[in-house]
Amino acid sequence: MSLSDASKAELRLCSRLQLSDEHAACLISAMRAGVSARSAVVLSPLAAADYKPPFACVDTSEWSWLPPRVFVPVEGERPTVHADYAAGLYYSLDLSSCWESAPLSVVPPPGSSLDLCAAPGGKSMLMAARYLPRQHVANEVNAQRRGILRKNIQQCGVPNVEVTGLRPDQWATDGRLFDLLLADAPCSGQSLLCKGIRNPGCLGQQMVNGNAKRQKGILLAAVQCVAPGGHILYSTCTYDPDENEKVMAYILKRMPEWQAVEVPVLADFRSALVDFPCYRMLPHHGCGAGGFCCLLRRATEK
């Protein structure tokens, strides 16, 4: 496909990302084809250390960013049809979500953690694959989605989890402080197009601006919930810098006690759009539909 055939909205996104013509054509083709989704499974605490899934998996030894206890099925395998899935031995999710959790590789095991936008539970599962905090709160405002979250947490046997439904502003005044906060923020979801899911308006400026405003509000509340020396992992499943780099830059400017943290295993994905470390994966990387992540750390008290 030539770039001359692309819509203005697609070209505008590629321009914001400062993509070469070759990579722009790859992204636009992926959004139109809708076949970039790639499944993965993360083992639950119920699965033994030597457990192997009952389906064929690809060799992932070259993906240094892959979280522990994660397997990637070969094309055509359906992990959710096996009895082990119903028994809660593993949780099925998109490989891009696993990539977005890679910054946890540089976070010390937390004593307490909060997954602020937790449903359906993938990020909490990925965190549990690395370490089990003494206290974990999985929060979801939407009641229906909160029910799904609770079911997934219980089915996979994740211990020491409190499921809640507070708004971010309510958490800001709750008084509890956490060592780690996960903010898989609501976004325009541009990567859904690459999974073959219709998402009208996701490339439009109105939707992008609305989500960016909401994301800033969520993070301004989130920073009030983290203990000195603690971390926030911010992630989205969208590409636009207005919802990613610019949101991070806004928080770092407003909150000088926070800094962005380097994640060595994601060095190949580092964004060139800003001078602080944050990371973006696009469909042409071959690891799913893509996403964005940035790890923030709050300075310790003197």
CA distance 91 to 164: 21
CA distance 235 to 243: 10
Written as six digits, the tokens of 251 are: 């928080």
- Residue whose C-alpha is closest to residue 133's, from 104, 155, 154: 104
Triad 132, 187, 244: Cα angle to 5°: 85
Q: Which residues are catalytic?
A: 237
Span between the terminal Cα atoms of the chain, in Å = 57
Tokens 């696009």, residue located: 282
Backbone angles phi and psi of 270, in degrees to 5: -65, 135
Tokens 């119903």, residue located: 86
| Per-position DSSP letters for 164-180, written without gaps between them | E---HHHHHTT---EEE
